Structure 1
Amino acid sequence: MVSTDIHCTTDIPNYSGIPDYGYSNLLIYSTYPSINDAIFNPSNLTHNGYITITYYDPVELSDGYLWIYRIDDSSDNVTQQFVNGNNNDFCSVSDNGLTVTVKIIRSTFSYPDSQFYVKVDYNFVRGKVYDEPLMGINDNIWKFNTIPTIEESYAGLVSGVMRLTIEGTKHYENLNSTGKDDFISDLQIELSKILSGPRAIYE
């Protein structure tokens, strides 16, 4: 007699009373970025970016992985970064045990106007109370976008005449050639800051 295995799936009702905020995981309260959020490109910042996951109950880091993918036009998504939960250089937990922070390499989100998603493996974190591995976040659920590049426009080239005060003229004339070059260079920089445009050209 031949036996046949029948596999079926069904939605299990949520009896916990805890809402699911779109992560298909009742253990997760929120993330940063949130689902469908729009973020700036951290490569334009002076520091690395970060992402966070906040849980309902305290957790500890474990040996699962967190993966960041860029959704490509082709069928193959591109791995931008992955990190093991036990990597203390990149992963940390808040003092209350509820929020996990993961540092982001500056090049990870360096594609403007692109879509990304984060996958979290089973056992990336463990429950702190019972020390049990916790489920993560599946593919294509925690998705968000980078903001498109904004091209700045300027009014164009403007020419003019600048005159120094009597005191400024005396100060300038008493400088040597190197000092005069530095004086003009510093003046260009300060005027460009005031005008909020590209560096002006002075002759």
Structure 2
Amino acid sequence: MDNNTLLLASQYTTNNASWSLLTVQLTEDSGFSDAVYDNIFIKETFPPINANVSSSTITLNITLIFDVILSAGNITIYKVSDNSVRQRVSATMNEFCNIEHSDYPHIYNSYVIVKVINSTFNEYGEQYFVTMDNNFVKDMDNETPLKGIHDGIWILKTGNILIYHLI
């Protein structure tokens, strides 16, 4: 669920006609990441939420906690002020999107790497948000489509970088 809770249906053993709902709060100890991205399978992003970016930002990275493959959705970067699309990358665009997997034994992270064109973040003082469609990636083992990142979560900013000029 959206609040990082697992919802389970359980049949009563004494009466086969009745059911109950059980909730389990997922925590770091359960092996899942927190709900910062409203998606427990996303470990982190780079740049992180609320980071400063510039037109020299060349990639976006998403780390997932298990092995995934690209599927059929899009990653889209929007400008907040007018909700305009600055860049859209389909999972099928191999020249703009790929996945790397962890080389370490028993670590099953996948790293989605998206190439950013230099005009995407070129407006000083703007905010942008990045979305990832449901089914952009799917589980490598059973090919189950995974949840994405909806709008308003992964916010990036331009223009808050101080530049010092020495005279």
Judge same fold: TM > 0.5, yes or no. yes
- Deviation of 1:39 after TM superposition, in Å, equals 2.1
Residue number among 29, 44, 59 corresponding to 2:68 in the alignment: 59
Hey, what's the Cα distance between the residues in 1 that align with 2:49 and 2:165?
32
User: In angstroms, what is the RMSD of aligned CA positions?
Assistant: 2.4
Aligned pairs for 1:22-171 within 5 A:
22-42=36-56, 49-72=58-81, 76-96=82-102, 98-148=110-160
Give the length in aligned residue pairs: 139
Compared CA separation, residues 153 and 54, structure 1 to 2 (3 A): closer
SS in 2 for 1:20: coil
Q: What is the one-letter code of the residue matched to 1:40?
A: S
Hey, what's the Cα distance between the residues in 1 that align with 2:92 and 2:98?
9
1:81-139 CA distances to partner (integer Å, 9 max, x unpaired)?
Answer: 00111110100111336100000011000012211110100000011121110000011
Q: What is the one-letter code of the residue matched to 2:68?
A: V
Per mean C-alpha deviation after superposition, the further-off stretch among 141-150 and 95-104 is 141-150
8 Å Cα contact 1:66/1:83 also seen in 2 = yes
Paired position in structure 1 for 2:25 = 14
SS in 2 for 1:117: strand
* TM-score under structure 1 length normalisation: 0.62
Give percent identity, aligned residues only. Answer: 32
Which structure is larger by alpha-carbon Rg, 1 or 2?
1
**What are structure 1's unaligned runs of at least 5 residues?**
1-8, 43-47, 156-203
Compared CA separation, residues 104 and 129, structure 1 to 2 (3 A): same
SS in 2 for 1:41: coil
Compared CA separation, residues 15 and 81, structure 1 to 2 (3 A): same
Paired position in structure 2 for 1:160 = none
Paired position in structure 2 for 1:201 = none
**What are structure 2's unaligned runs of at least 5 residues?**
6-23, 103-108
